[in-house]
Structure 1
Amino acid sequence: MKILINTPKLDKLGGVSNHYTGLKKYWRNNVVYNQIGRRFYFPGFFLLPFDIIFFIIKLLMFRPELVVLNPSLNQKAYFRDSIYLKVSKLLQFKVVVFFHGWDKQFEKKITKKSFIKSYGVSDSIIILAKEFKNKIRHWGYNNPIFLTTTKVDDKLLKGFTYSPINNKLKVIFFARITYTKGVYIAMDVFNEFQKLHPKATLDIIGDGPELKKAINYASSKEIKNIVFHGQINGENLKQILSQSNINLFPTNHGEGMPTTILESMAFGHVIITKLVGGLKDFFKNNQMGWAINSDNKDLFLLRLMELAQNTALIDKIGKLNYKYAKDNFYASKVASKLESIFEEISANK
Structure 2
Amino acid sequence: MNSWGKVMKVLVMGHSAGQIGGVSNFLRMMQEKAGARHQIDLFTVGPRDTESGALARSLRLLSDYFAFIGFAKKDYDLIHVNPSLDKRSFVRTLVFLLICIMFRKKSVVFFRGWDWDAFRFFFVKSNPVGKIARWILSNSAGFIVLAPSFKTELSRFFPTHRIDVLTTMFDGKYMPVSNFKFYDSPRMLFMSRFIDSKGGIAAIDAYVEIAKVYPDATLVMAGDGPKRVDWENYAVSLGQAAHGVNFVGYVKAETKLAALSDANIFLMPTSHPEGMPNALMEAMGAGLIPVVTEAGGTFDAIKHGELGYMLSEPSAKEMLHAVTSIMSNPTGSTEMSKALRLHAWENFESNAVTSRVINIYEEIVFAG
How far did residue 13 of structure 1 move?
Answer: 2.4
What is the alpha-carbon distance in structure 1 between the residues aligned to residue 9 and residue 57 of structure 2?
Answer: 27
Runs of 4+ in 1 over 3 A off after TM superposition: none
1:33 counterpart residue number: 42
Q: Which ranges in structure 1 are unaligned for 5 or more consecutive residues?
A: none
What is the Cα deviation at residue 9 of structure 1? 1.2
The runs of 5 or more residues in structure 2 that have no matched partner are 1-7, 125-130
Q: Deviations for 1:175-220, whole angstroms, at most 9, x for unmatched residues? A: 1112211111111111111122111111011111111111111111
Q: 2 CA distance for matches of 1:308 and 1:31?
A: 45
Assess if the C-alpha contact under 8 Å between 1:194 and 1:224 holds in 2. Answer: no
Q: Following superposition of structure 1 onto structure 2, how do residues 94-113 of structure 1 map, counting pairs within 5 Å?
A: 94-111=106-123, 113=131
Structure 1 equivalent of residue 25 of structure 2: 18
Q: CA deviation at 1:44?
A: 4.1
Deviation at 1:5, TM superposition (A): 0.8
1:77 corresponds, among 89, 96, 107, to 89
Change (3 A) 1:75 1:163: closer
Percent pairwise identity: 28
Partner-residue secondary structure (3-state), 1:116: helix
- The answer on whether the counterparts of 1:130 and 1:281 sit within 8 Å (CA) in structure 2 is yes
* Cα contact 1:73–1:100 (8 A) shared by 2: yes
Distance 1:30 1:289 in 2: 38
Does 1:302 pair with 2:324? Answer: no
Partner Cα distance (1:44, 1:85) in 2: 20
Q: Which amino acid aligns with 2:46?
A: G
Check whether the contact 2:81–2:107 (CA below 8 A) recurs between aligned residues: yes
Retained in 2: the 8 A contact 1:203–1:227?
yes
| Count of residue correspondences | 345
Aligned-CA RMSD value: 1.7
Structure 1 residue 127 displacement after superposition: 0.9
C-alpha contact (below 8 Å) 1:289/1:317 kept by paired residues? yes
Give per-residue Cα distances to partners, 1:145-190, cap 9 Å, x unaligned.
1111100012312xx3114423242111111112211111111111
Alignment equivalent of 1:177, drawn from 182, 186, 194: 194
Provide, for residues 69-88 of structure 1, a one-character-per-residue CA deviation record: whole Å limited to 9, x for no partner.
11111133311111111111
Matches within 5 A, 1:129-140: 129-138=147-156, 140=157
1:7 and 1:20 in contact (8 A); partners too: yes
Candidates 11, 25, 42, aligned match of 1:4: 11
What corresponds to 1:277 in structure 2?
296
Does residue 161 (structure 1) correspond to residue 181 (structure 2)? The answer is no
Q: Which moved more, 1:257-266 or 1:161-170?
A: 161-170
Structure 1 residue 261 corresponds to structure 2 residue 275? no
Decide which of 115, 139, 150 is 2:133's aligned counterpart.
Answer: 115
- Please say if residues 149 and 278 of structure 1, whose CA atoms lie closer than 8 Å, have aligned partners that are also in contact: no
Which residue number in structure 2 is paired with residue 47 of structure 1?
Answer: 60
The structure-2 alpha-carbon separation of the partners of 1:19 and 1:45, relative to structure 1 and needing over 3 Å to count, comes to: farther
CA distance in 2, matches of 1:133, 1:164: 33
Structure 2 residue corresponding to 1:337, chosen from 320, 336, 356: 356
Cα distance between partner residues in 2 of 1:120 and 1:261: 31
Query: Secondary structure at the residue paired with 1:96?
Result: strand
- CA separation of 1:161 and 1:297: change in aligned 2, threshold 3 A: same
TM-score normalised by L of structure 1: 0.93
Q: CA deviation at 1:31?
A: 0.8
Deviations 1:8-58 (A, max 9, x none): 112212321121122220012111111112115225432122222222222
The answer on whether the counterparts of 2:209 and 2:316 sit within 8 Å (CA) in structure 1 is no
SS in 2 for 1:93: coil
Q: CA deviation at 1:244?
A: 0.7
Q: Is 1:126 aligned to 2:140, yes or no? A: no
